[in-house]
Amino acid sequence: MGNLTRLSGCILLCISASISISFAQVINHSGLHNPAVDYKKLARIDSLVNEYIQKDWEKGVVTLIIKDNILIQSKGYGFADEAKTKPMTPDAIFRIMSQTKAITSVGIMILYEQGKLLLDEPISDFIPEFKHPVVLEKFNDSATIFFFYTNTNQTDVIVRKKEVYDGAQPSGNAIMADNLYRLGLYFDKSHWKEKSIQMVSSLINAIVRYPTSFGAWACILLEISVGISEIVIISEESQRILIQVLKEYIPHKVIMSATDGSNSFPLLSGKEKNKGAALYLCRDYTCENPVSSISALIDLIRRKELKIS
């Protein structure tokens, strides 16, 4: 693989004759001529990309075009470094920032479908560095209750940035507050929930007065205020039922599903299944008697919202 680069652009063009997705897809690299491709129009890509390179609008670009599982084009243009000493190669590695989440999520689900991992397995089983998370220790601002972008060991920054305002994207601290609150529910970590509540409480006046600047914070405040429904599904068909439950509009919720009660997660512990399915509705780990159908679960949630016994 080529060297990691942040200075280059990447054009990814995948053309398919079918909308179906196959995880066993194999790309033909033989360079076989594809009659469905207009190669004269394809040459326009060269002209366009070379123009961008010449005008210094881009330092380097990689194009990838696939049609009908046949590799049509894989080319590197320009350079992989600012000094223009390393030619860009088709296998160059790019920083794709937030897009890594989408690609990683798809990869994890593929491995899950192939039976190579379970979604409740600790990340540290695969990436040992995650065995001892340091976010709460290394990124925490001791002078406030918020978090920095960089950890305490990073010395190559003049100022450690800390963000609380929500813009087109939620602020890092709003996401952290949401994560702490939800993970506190999943793992019964009251100090994580308390940290989240403290973060929201410190901004409550600004959230109420300027909601458009604190949209993500406002959502967390609403969840803390009205409470979160903890839904547990215990059934041999837990995945099928989970999919059906997710089709229902149930705001402010966390859901866990399993084939039987498990001590792996506190929310699942002690939950027993009936002859068919057992669907539990809980608040702060205090659960109602289980019901056996989605309609009964929805009715129970609505009754709780209206405070009907």
Q: Please enumerate in sequence order all residues whose Cβ is within 8 A of that of 308, keeping only pairs 6 or more positions apart, or say none.
A: none
Distance in angstroms (rounded) separating the CA atoms of residues 69 and 163 = 44
Could you tell me whether strands 93-94 and 4-5 are parallel, antiparallel, or unpaired per DSSP bridges? parallel
pLDDT of residue 275: 75
> Both 213 and 285 in a single domain?
no
Count of domains forming the chain: 3
Mean pLDDT, rounded, for 132-153: 86
pLDDT surpassing 90 at residue 202: yes
pLDDT in tens, 56-94: 998 999 998 888 888 888 999 999 988 889 999 999 988
- For residue 11, what pLDDT band results from cuts at 50, 70 and 90? low
Mean pLDDT, rounded, for 175-199: 93
pLDDT surpassing 80 at residue 217: yes
Distance in angstroms (rounded) separating the CA atoms of residues 183 and 27 = 40
> Both 179 and 252 in a single domain?
no
> Both 245 and 263 in a single domain?
yes
Residue 124 lies in a domain: no
pLDDT of residue 220: 95
Mean pLDDT, rounded, for 171-197: 92
Q: Which run of H or of E encompasses 197?
A: helix 190-202
> Both 206 and 138 in a single domain?
yes
Domain finish residue from 226, 245, 275: 226
Q: What range does the domain containing 198 cover? A: 133-226
> Both 204 and 273 in a single domain?
no
Q: Please enumerate in sequence order all residues whose Cβ is within 8 A of that of 120, keeping only pairs 6 or more positions apart, or say none.
A: 264, 265
> Both 235 and 291 in a single domain?
yes
Residue 121 lies in a domain: no
- For residue 130, what pLDDT band results from cuts at 50, 70 and 90? confident
Most confident of 4-8, 59-63, 92-96, 267-271: 59-63
The residue type found at 116 is K
pTM of this prediction?
Answer: 0.63
> Both 148 and 162 in a single domain?
yes
E strands, 121-252, are 229-234
pLDDT of residue 23: 44
> Both 148 and 213 in a single domain?
yes
| Helices and strands per DSSP (H, E), number in the chain | 9, 9
> Both 11 and 48 in a single domain?
yes
Distance in angstroms (rounded) separating the CA atoms of residues 189 and 233 = 21
Helix (H, G, I), strand (E, B) or coil at 248: coil
90 phi/psi in degrees, rounded to 5? -60, -25
Residue 55 lies in a domain: yes
Between 161 and 11, where is the model more confident?
161
The region that residue 232 occupies, defined by phi over 0 for left and psi between -120 and 50 for alpha, beta otherwise, is: beta
Residue 176 lies in a domain: yes
pLDDT surpassing 80 at residue 147: yes
- For residue 308, what pLDDT band results from cuts at 50, 70 and 90? low
Residue 113 lies in a domain: no
> Both 175 and 205 in a single domain?
yes
Residue 297 lies in a domain: yes
Residue 194 lies in a domain: yes
> Both 196 and 151 in a single domain?
yes
pLDDT of residue 4: 41
Which residue reads 């903890």 in tokens?
230
Mean pLDDT, rounded, for 289-305: 91
